[in-house]
Amino acid sequence: MVKIEKRPVATGFKGSGGGIVPSKCGSTQNMAANIKVVVRVRPLNEKELDLNSRVVVDVVDDKMLVFDPKEEIRPFFYQGVQQPNKNFLKRANKELKFVFDNVCGQEASNKDVFETTTKDMLAALMEGYNCSVFVYGATGAGKTFTMIGSNEHPGITYLTMEHLFYTINQFEKEREFDIGVSYIEVYNENVYDLLKPSKTPLQLREDSKYGVMVAGLTLNNIKTARELLNMLENGNKNRTQHPTDANAESSRSHAVFQVYVKMRYKTSSQLRLVKLSMIDLAGSERASATGCVGERFKEGANINKSLLSLGNCINKLADGSNYIPYRDSKLTRLLKDSLGGNCKTVMIANVSPSSVSYEDTYNTLKYAARANKIQLSIKKNIVDGDMRLSQYVKINEELKKKVKELEAKLSLSSVKNVSKEPDMVKEKAIKEWRRRIIDCDSVHASLETELLNLMSRQRVLALRQRLRTRAFSHVADLAHRSSYEAMEQVCNEDIPRQERAAESYIKQTVHLDSQIMSTWTKWDDSRKRLHVVCNQAVSDFTELADFVENIHLKSELRHIKARDNLRYKLLSIENEEINAFTEYMSEMPSMLKKLYLTLKGYDKAPPALTAEYIEIMKKAKLAKAITWSDKDSEIDSNFKFISSLDIQKPTTAIDYDKKDEGNMTIDIMTDSDDLTDIENREPIKVLKRKGTPIKLPNNETILINDSFESLDATRNLNSAKKIKREKEFDIAPDIENYNVVDPNDLNSTFVLAGKMDALRKPIKTESKVEVQPVKRGLVDRTNTIQRTINFGDKAKLVKPVVGKAIPFRRPGPQPGAPRGPGFGSSLSRDGTPLQRNVQDASRTKTNVTQKSVGFKAVRARERVQNHPYSRPPALAARK
Ligand SMILES: Nc1ncnc2c1ncn2[C@@H]1O[C@H](COP(=O)(O)OP(=O)(O)OP(=O)(O)O)[C@@H](O)[C@H]1O
């Protein structure tokens, strides 16, 4: 390592004294010939891809690019319909053509850039020219990537040094070499040593003998390019970087890497010193792009100040001016001998191709074009109006010459390449669009499949619950019509089971709904993204319309398949159900026949029963015939929901607890105030808030305690809860009448569990004789809970509660009395209608508690006696 303490290090060499041969000088006049401008367009980064930004730099070939090329707006058809063009208000495209010494497109590697920039320069360095490379561009445009790179993609500094060592090897026989490197940064107009970090800035000195010097700078000796890599890595760690809006690792200083090559010719002992400077400039962006304020803003201002003076120096050098304002900034002072004069200079202008960096890219290209002095534009040539006429004429001639050359080149390339190269570029772009569409579609497709699966599961679950409820109602209905024991079994076993099933159904539904909700949101995002990408792709390349159409067809196919699978599944479930039901139904008529004939055998079949029997048997026969009707039956909404699979926006799960719950309509079916008038039940519509007691016309109070919420939370499916009886039961009519149950309504009645005990309590009358009360139960139709068709609507309670008080048959004969026949509800073993026994028993009791038997009971008894099935002939005779 060569360390030069206190002694300023010369950063340029003037004069030829001291045996040092000055490096060859170019003149300011032909500076333009010495400066080579290369533009590098980096690939779009992830953010730019995500934003779906437009590519505003079109690299035509290795010398020319078009900035803000014209967009071709072609009609875009989606599913056969022309979509409106979006960009009516869009500004016109600049369509500026720039020609540079070299243009490196998005695919160019650091090696490619090295080949076109510094490789050739090394020959000049060996010949004794100072050389410098500086990379210019906005933040995030790829300057550091170009200069330093990474382990996998070493930058041009490493590649240049590697080549330098290779070149030195070639010359080793005739020359001795000594290499020293320094790495400094210019931050906020101060110079710091990156290889020997210190907070104290280094001073720039200038004298007539050594030129510009940096006092106290360390020079490091290196022998291989590998050593350099570590050194650069360490140096970079000391470089001032701050994240900006535009680049998370934005370099906020100008980094200057300098290589001093001391060559001694073995034969002549002549010493020659040359210098290679590689400068990674800080970002040239506008302050607004970085979102910087405070310290960062000041930093930005200093960066811009030095870049501005660098630009001025370049301009002046290009103009052939006698005065070059190097002293305007630290950077230009430092680079004084690396810019004009005796120096070969390469400027690499880095740009992003994305419309996101439109202004920065435009400014960089203008800056680079100024350095190159050539900008070929359809609209205008940027020419400094202050130029002296002679220079203008000269430059104009040069420009014209170059334009002609380029035109010749272009026409040649248009003959040669119009069909080839642009096609290749286009092919590449189309391929890229395809890749993007496929990526988006695969995400979308997997989300769609997941969503359709969840929705199918939801529909299957709804159907199962519907069938379960129907079956349960049927069982309850049958039990209600058969025996007290069956009824009790329904109360003790079936109802709790049904409750548990309903509760579990609700839990599963809630869970499924929330899964559907979150999957739908993701699916919708992916759908929108796919739509945008497809639209963009087709508007860029109409050739992609078929490809996009194909993607949409695939999605439709997925829907159709999912719908098909769902229908198949639903059908097979229904089919199983129908099979089971058919089997059961086919046994019914023969059983009915036996019963009827038994009755008839005992001569107990009244004509009305016979007529009804004949009617039912006719229906049974008809039921066997197949109806070939293709008339659309009215499909109920629930069925529609179950069998459809259209993706619509779900709400946030089922909304069980919304404000309308307080105003839900509840049908309360109850007796009129005359309990005997049980056949004339009218549904009463009440608008009640959950939990509000409802006073029934018969002076009973019931509490409606039913809602999805309570189902879910308290496992309290039972709804009408009797909280208060204002008076003990009267001895109600001791009758049986099941006509209150509509046998056609499968959602019909069942007796609430838990109500039986209260209703069965013996009633103490004034005479202290216990009277067996009539069993009554509140009849509930909570099983009519339905969901509405629309997946998007909130679940509604449809007829959530139907409570009605109905008289209930007593369990069996009185103690001591002969046991009943054990089947059916109204016949004793010998075929005598049970009513007769009951009536007899009640008559006995009536004798004891004649006074306590109310008028209602009397009327009810009369009704029973008048009932066609229950009037025993003996009684009729007595009458
Ligand atoms: N040609 C390229 N190929 C691949 N990635 C690139 C290329 N150019 C730049 N990048 C990536 O872009 C990002 C920004 O690049 P870089 O840091 O070099 O920008 P910069 O111009 O030096 O920014 P700043 O001035 O803020 O320091 C980095 O992650 C880099 O890896």
> Can you give the pLDDT at residue 105?
92
Helices (H) and strands (E) in the chain, counts: 24, 30
Tokens 């009277």 sit at which residue? Answer: 771
Ligand 1 in reach of 354 Cβ (< 6 A): no
Distances (CA, A) of 110 to 40, 156, 232, 428, 826: 10, 6, 16, 21, 100
- Strand 204-207: give its sheet, edge to edge: 9-10, 211-214, 204-207
Q: Taking a C-beta distance cutoff of 8 angstroms, is the pair 140, 77 a contact?
A: no
Ligand 1 nearest atom to the CA of residue 40, by list position: 1
Q: Taking a C-beta distance cutoff of 8 angstroms, is the pair 56, 68 a contact?
A: yes
List residues forming the annotated binding site for ATP.
137-144
Q: Whose CA is nearest to atom 11 of ligand 1?
A: 142
Q: Taking a C-beta distance cutoff of 8 angstroms, is the pair 536, 355 a contact?
A: no
Residues 484 and 423: their CA atoms lie apart, in Å, by 88
Ligand 1 in reach of 144 Cβ (< 6 A): yes
CA of 116 to the centre of ligand 1 (A): 19
Ligand 1 in reach of 143 Cβ (< 6 A): yes
- DSSP symbols for 719-741: -EEEEEESSPPPB-------TTS
Ligand 1 in reach of 149 Cβ (< 6 A): no
CA of 238 to the centre of ligand 1 (A): 18
Q: Which of 385, 523, 390 is nearest to 454 (CA)?
A: 523
Q: Whose CA is nearest to atom 31 of ligand 1?
A: 145
CA of 381 to the centre of ligand 1 (A): 30
- Neighbouring C-beta atoms of residue 227, cutoff 10 Å: 14
Ligand 1 in reach of 43 Cβ (< 6 A): yes
Residues 51 and 431: their CA atoms lie apart, in Å, by 19
Q: Which of 475, 311, 483 is nearest to 382 (CA)?
A: 311
Residues 161 and 226: their CA atoms lie apart, in Å, by 9
Tell me the sheet residues that pair with 55.
354
Ligand 1 nearest atom to the CA of residue 106, by list position: 1
Ligand 1 in reach of 283 Cβ (< 6 A): yes
CA of 140 to the centre of ligand 1 (A): 5
Residues 687 and 695: their CA atoms lie apart, in Å, by 13
Q: Whose CA is nearest to atom 9 of ligand 1?
A: 142
Tokens of 358: 């439109």
Break the chain down into helix, strand, coil percent, rounded to 5.
45, 20, 35
> Can you give the pLDDT at residue 352?
93
Ligand 1 in reach of 139 Cβ (< 6 A): yes
- Residue ranges of the domains in the chain? 9-29+107-342, 389-418, 433-643, 659-878
Residues 846 and 852: their CA atoms lie apart, in Å, by 8
CA of 139 to the centre of ligand 1 (A): 8
> Can you give the pLDDT at residue 742?
37
Tokens of 872: 């025993």
- Longest CA–CA span in the chain (Å) reads 157
β-strands 175-187, 220-221 pairing: antiparallel
> Can you give the pLDDT at residue 737?
32
- Neighbouring C-beta atoms of residue 95, cutoff 10 Å: 15
Above 0.90 for ipTM, yes or no? yes
> Can you give the pLDDT at residue 461?
86
Q: Which residues of the chain have pLDDT under 50?
A: 1-33, 287-291, 374-392, 417-420, 626-633, 652-698, 700-765, 772-854, 856-857, 864, 867-879
Residues 763 and 728: their CA atoms lie apart, in Å, by 7
> Can you give the pLDDT at residue 806?
36
Ligand 1 in reach of 128 Cβ (< 6 A): no
CA of 442 to the centre of ligand 1 (A): 30
Distances (CA, A) of 429 to 142, 422, 423, 426, 540: 22, 10, 10, 5, 9
CATH superfamily of 9-29+107-342: Kinesin motor domain (3.40.850.10)
Tell me the sheet residues that pair with 777.
806
Residues 710 and 690: their CA atoms lie apart, in Å, by 10
Ligand 1 in reach of 469 Cβ (< 6 A): no
Tokens 């008080």 sit at which residue? Answer: 805
Residues 675 and 133: their CA atoms lie apart, in Å, by 107
CA of 138 to the centre of ligand 1 (A): 10
- Neighbouring C-beta atoms of residue 589, cutoff 10 Å: 16
Task: Give 797-809 pLDDT, tens digit per residue.
Answer: 333 333 333 333 3
